[in-house]
Structure 1
């Protein structure tokens, strides 16, 4: 099912036909260096167990000019996850979405597609889903991803030390946050 289109980018819900693309991306060491870890390759069974589950996350394929090139998921953060990210009770008001994503085709890296994707996802979540806040938790060493998110209006709000297991060690992550400005037009 189509989630949205924005120029050459289409975001659609994950389908059974996407298993092979997901396996290809999540077994590529270049991709795994940034998402899941090179020590954590996925086969079809593992992809199905992790990504084809019935829960509150919306799991999607990113297409560029009709070609599947990556994956994005978004979901509402509940009070427990807000607390894990360092937000207090006063931050529980409003609608907070989180996203995770990767471009699985390295030939599409460093071409501005990630910026276009995140700009369009922010617009979708703010306009269509009435998000008051969008957050992500990239690993602190992933400067390229953080720079992309900052170009899209996210700002670093909190460092979570030893937050995520990656390649055999606990890694620091930044909480980056986007909040729409009152009266801002996307």
Structure 2
């Protein structure tokens, strides 16, 4: 798209906005977590959380995390320094316009520039829209669908080239 997205850290004052976005039917069907929903969760150093904006319009949430931050995490076997990502577009009128793959690719490029050897993600295997967005952003599946403590996933990864 050639569009530049802005990523700013989530602040305590953003929690009501995130709750509103998570309550939207197009988000709730796939994002079954209420996290983050407290100021304490925003202090977890394993996770970097962002509000994504196009110009001055916030429209999405994105987080990246160390895959080695939880014992038994399904991406624990990835190389040290690897990051996991999750996100959703909160505004329905921004869905289906190419923003997802574009802002994901922009953030993944930043993670690679910061030294991450691999960036992984774990959409639900039935979430074909998310899987297509990840594929457009350079991800590929690297194993079968499986059940995890965080739900059913299709493991996907992008490697720094």
Please state if 1:59 is matched with 2:49.
Answer: yes
- Kept after mapping to 1: 8 A contact 2:84/2:121: yes
Residues 12, 39 of structure 2: 8 Å contact kept: no
Report the Cα distance in structure 2 between the residues aligned to 1:77 and 1:47, rounded to whole angstroms.
21
Q: Which residue in 1 is equivalent to 2:83?
A: 97
* CA apart distance, 1:32: 0.4
Q: Does 1:139 pair with 2:124?
A: yes
Which of 138, 149, 153 does residue 153 from structure 1 map onto?
Answer: 138
- The answer on whether the counterparts of 1:85 and 1:160 sit within 8 Å (CA) in structure 2 is no
Q: Which structure 1 residue ranges, 4+ long, deviate > 3 Å from structure 2?
A: none
Which ranges of structure 2 fall in alignment gaps of 5 or more residues? none
Q: 1:175 aligns with which of 143, 155, 160?
A: 155
Q: CA deviation at 1:7?
A: 3.8
Residues 76-115 of structure 1 mapped to structure 2, 5 A cutoff: 76-78=66-68, 84-85=73-74, 88=77, 91-92=78-79, 94-115=80-101
Q: TM-score scaled to structure 1, two decimals?
A: 0.75
5 Å-filtered alignment, 1:28-47, equals 28-36=24-32, 42=34, 47=37
> Quick one: structure 1 residues 56 and 84, their matched pair in 2 at CA, closer, same or farther if it must change by over 3 Å?
closer
1:56-110 C-alpha deviation (Å, 9 max, x unpaired): 21111111121111111111221755x532664xx44x42011111011111000
The 1:143/1:56 distance shift into structure 2, 3 A limit, reads: same
In the TM superposition, what is the alpha-carbon distance from 1:46 to its structure 2 partner?
7.2
1:163/1:85 CA distance change after superposition, 3 Å: same
Please tell me whether the aligned partners of residues 50 and 63 of structure 2 are also in contact (alpha carbons under 8 angstroms).
yes
CA pair 159-172 structure 1, distance change in 2 beyond 3 A: farther
Provide the aligned C-alpha RMSD in A. 2.5
For the residues of structure 2 that align with 1:23 and 1:86, how far apart are their CA atoms? Answer: 27
Judged with a 3 Å threshold, the aligned counterparts in structure 2 of structure 1 residues 86 and 99 are, in CA distance, closer, same or farther, namely closer
Gaps of 5+ in 1: 1-5, 166-170, 182-186
Of 15, 21, 27, the residue aligned with 2:17 is 21
TM-score normalised according to structure 2 size: 0.86
